[in-house]
């Protein structure tokens, strides 16, 4: 029984790592587009992952990025000020360290819980994002972009 549980845990961890890799690549693409002034910093990047998952990347304050991944069956977009809604999505608070040119995960909703994650997110939320649901993305990634 414990071997089956170990295998399921390893499978889930591998899937989350693969998803995080795709999300970090998308966050890097958004960051470089913003730095090149090709898109507005208030832009949202949306991507689609096989298995009916959608992810949205938001640029926040202080080199922080919010990545939300949710199922296509979710009929409403996540709202940043609502921890109950954020509990329906996998969300990461990513930080880009320009000195070391690397990405780190500052918070993960599954590990921290939705309420704590929402609290951690508050200081980095830009004013234009207060209480607003996910906005229409200006840039959509396809499978070709994420490969």
pLDDT at 87: 57
Q: For residue range 22-75, list pLDDT tens digits in order.
A: 889 989 999 999 999 888 888 888 888 776 788 888 888 889 998 888 877 665
pLDDT at 136: 39
pLDDT at 79: 53
Q: Are strands 44-49 and 64-71 parallel, antiparallel or unpaired?
A: unpaired
- Asked if residues 39 and 33 have their Cβ atoms less than 8 Å apart, the reply is yes
Number of domains in the chain: 1
pLDDT at 17: 87
User: What is this structure's pTM?
Assistant: 0.75
Which of 48, 74, 68 lies closest to 121 in space, CA to CA? 68
Domain interval for residue 13: 2-146
Which of 128, 120, 126, 22 lies closest to 69 in space, CA to CA? 22
Average pLDDT taken over every residue of the chain = 76
Q: For residue range 123-135, list pLDDT tens digits in order.
A: 887 776 655 544 4
User: What are the residue ranges of helices labelled H in the chain?
Assistant: 2-35, 83-86, 109-112, 114-121, 143-146
Helical (H) or strand (E) element with 57: strand 53-59
Among 6-15, 35-44, 53-62, 91-100, which stretch is predicted with the lowest mean pLDDT?
Answer: 6-15
Distance CA 129, CA 58 (A): 10
- Asked if residues 136 and 45 have their Cβ atoms less than 8 Å apart, the reply is no
What's the length of the chain? 147
pLDDT above 80 for 120: yes
């Amino acid at each position: 029984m414990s071997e089956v549980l170990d295998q399921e845990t390893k499978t889930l961890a591998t899937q989350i790592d693969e998803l995080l890799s795709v999300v970090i690549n998308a966050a890097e693409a958004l960051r470089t587009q913003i730095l090149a002034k090709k898109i507005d910093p208030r832009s949202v990047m949306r991507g689609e992952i096989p298995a009916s998952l959608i992810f949205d990347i938001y640029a926040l304050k202080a080199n922080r990025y919010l990545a939300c991944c949710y199922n296509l069956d979710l009929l409403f977009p996540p709202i940043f000020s609502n921890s109950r809604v954020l509990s329906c999505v996998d969300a990461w608070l990513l930080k880009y360290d320009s000195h070391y040119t690397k990405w780190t995960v500052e918070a993960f909703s599954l590990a921290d819980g939705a309420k704590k994650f929402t609290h951690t997110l508050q200081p980095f939320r830009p004013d234009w994002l207060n209480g607003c649901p996910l906005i229409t993305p200006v840039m959509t990634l396809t499978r070709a972009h994420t490969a």
